[in-house]
Amino acid sequence: MTYVICEPCVKCKYGDCVEVCPVDCIYEGDDMLYINPDECIDCDACVRACPAEAIFIDDEVPEQWAAYIQINADFAYDGKSPVTSKDDVVKGENWDAETAAKAPQ
């Protein structure tokens, strides 16, 4: 089992999830964040932290986002450091404030 970050994180990247992960297994890509399935301890903390409701346990990922199970697994984790502070999440040119604003609070 592992938890999976899905499409609502794309161009959103609130970053609240990294603040609560007890094992620091969340990593940042250009458009979204990813959970390393080899490190996640299935604690469930990040699910409740994400304002965009982007995170699901793998066997409950909505059908339309099923590809994100593999997308999270395939992220190039080697040599990268996890993100541990929301302040370190880079909301660069790909970040879409309009998308973020639509996320449920």
42 interacts with, out of ligand F3S, ligand SF4, none, CB within 5 to 8 A per kind: ligand SF4
Residues that bind ligand F3S (CB under 6 A): 5, 9, 12-17, 33, 49-50, 52, 54-55
Q: For ligand SF4, which is the closer residue by CB, 3 or 77?
A: 3
Phi first, then psi: what are they for 57, rounded to 5°? Answer: -70, 150
DSSP string, 38-66: TT-----HHHHH-TT--EEEGGG--GGGT
Restricting to residues 42-81, name those near ligand SF4 by CB under 6 A: 42-46
